[in-house]
């Protein structure tokens, strides 16, 4: 049960990320131009892929995947919406804060000795490396 609860928490975070990136991409397409939105699109796709991976593993472990991002997703969308109004750098910074929080959550989970090897493997090989790459991409966007 612990594994499924942990995975569903991560699934909510990833669902929130997809919703937030959809919002940011829409705003960037309107305001900033194609290059920034093209840089964020792979991150959005990566989060969608993480959602799919988490849903599959939860189902395989006998659980029921959550269907929405819950209160955290609502809060993240409000924060991102406000950042979008302040411009692209504020939007990128808000996305970066979310990515760093996600990476920290994955790192903390790896210290949990009760997680199954399947869960640890998914975090180590897919979820955490993706978060780290997202942070690097956002660092580059903020530096340019």
pLDDT tens digits for 81-134? 555 555 677 778 888 989 999 999 999 999 999 999 999 999 999 999 999 999
Q: How confident is the model at residue 19 (pLDDT cuts 50, 70, 90)?
A: confident
Helix (H) and strand (E) counts in the chain: 6, 0
Q: Would you put residue 32 in left (φ > 0), alpha (ψ -120 to 50) or beta? A: alpha
Residues 6+ apart with CB under 8 A from 105: 9, 10, 13
pLDDT digits 0-9 by tens, 32-65:
555 667 888 999 999 999 999 999 999 999 999 9
């Amino acid at each position: 049960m612990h594994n499924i609860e942990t995975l569903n928490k991560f699934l909510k975070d990833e669902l929130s990320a997809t919703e937030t990136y959809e919002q940011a991409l829409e705003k960037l397409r309107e305001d900033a131009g194609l290059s920034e939105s093209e840089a964020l699109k792979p991150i959005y796709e990566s989060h969608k892929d993480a959602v799919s991976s988490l849903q599959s593993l939860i189902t395989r472990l006998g659980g029921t995947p959550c269907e929405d991002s819950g209160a955290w997703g609502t809060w993240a969308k409000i924060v991102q919406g406000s950042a979008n109004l302040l411009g692209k750098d504020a939007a990128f910074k808000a996305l970066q804060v979310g990515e760093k929080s996600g990476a920290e959550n994955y790192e903390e989970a790896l210290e949990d000795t009760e997680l199954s090897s399947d869960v640890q493997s998914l975090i180590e090989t897919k979820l955490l490396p993706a978060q780290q790459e997202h942070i690097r991409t956002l660092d580059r966007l903020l530096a340019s």
